[in-house]
Amino acid sequence: MKNWGPPLLIMYALGIFLHVLVFIVSPWPSGIFWVGDMYWVGTGIALFGLAQTLENQKSGRFIPAYFAIGLLRMFLGLGAVILPLMLKEDPNFNASALQFVAAYLFALFTESALAVFWIKKK
C-alpha cells in the first residue's frame, strides 16, 4: 500500500474537494450525494489492495483482477446506490445519479492512470 496508497488517497481527496466546489458554485444546489463518494473511495481502496495482493502472489494478475473486480464494482454500485434511489422516487434522483456517475468517471480515470503508472514502475 505504501506505493499506491498516498497517491490514491490524494486523488480521492481531490475528487471530494471538486465535488464540494461544484456544490458551492452551482446555482441550483440539490445537496451533496455523499453515499456515492464513500462507495467509490471504499471500494477503490479495496480494489487496489486486492489487485496488488494477487499481483504479489503471481506476476501478471493485477490487470485481469483490476478489470474483473472493477466491473463487479460498477454493477454493485448501480445496484447498491442508484437502484434504491430509483425505488424511493427521490425528487432529486437525476442530480444524485449524475453526481454518482461523475464521481465514478473521476475515480475510473484517476485509478486507471495510477494503475498504469504503478504497473510500469513495477
The answer, yes or no, to whether residue 122 has pLDDT greater than 80, is: no
Residue 57's pLDDT is 92
Residue 29's pLDDT is 60
State the Cα angle at 109 between 108 and 115, rounded to 5°. 85
Residue 93's pLDDT is 76
- Per-residue pLDDT band at 27 (split at 50, 70, 90): low
Residue pLDDT, tens place only, 77-100: 888 777 777 787 777 777 777 778
Residue 112's pLDDT is 87
Residue 108's pLDDT is 86
Q: What's the sign of the alpha-carbon dihedral 20, 31, 73, 71?
A: negative
The packing angle between helices 62-77 and 34-57, to 10°, is 160
> Of residues 25 and 50, which shows the higher confidence score?
50
Instruction: State which H helix or E strand residue 33 sits in.
Output: none
Residue pLDDT, tens place only, 28-81: 666 666 777 788 888 888 988 898 888 889 888 888 988 899 889 888 888 877
Q: What is the pTM of this model?
A: 0.77
The answer, yes or no, to whether residue 1 has pLDDT greater than 60, is: no
Sequence ranges of the domains in the chain: 5-121
Dihedral in degrees, nearest 10, Cα atoms 75, 76, 77, 79: 90
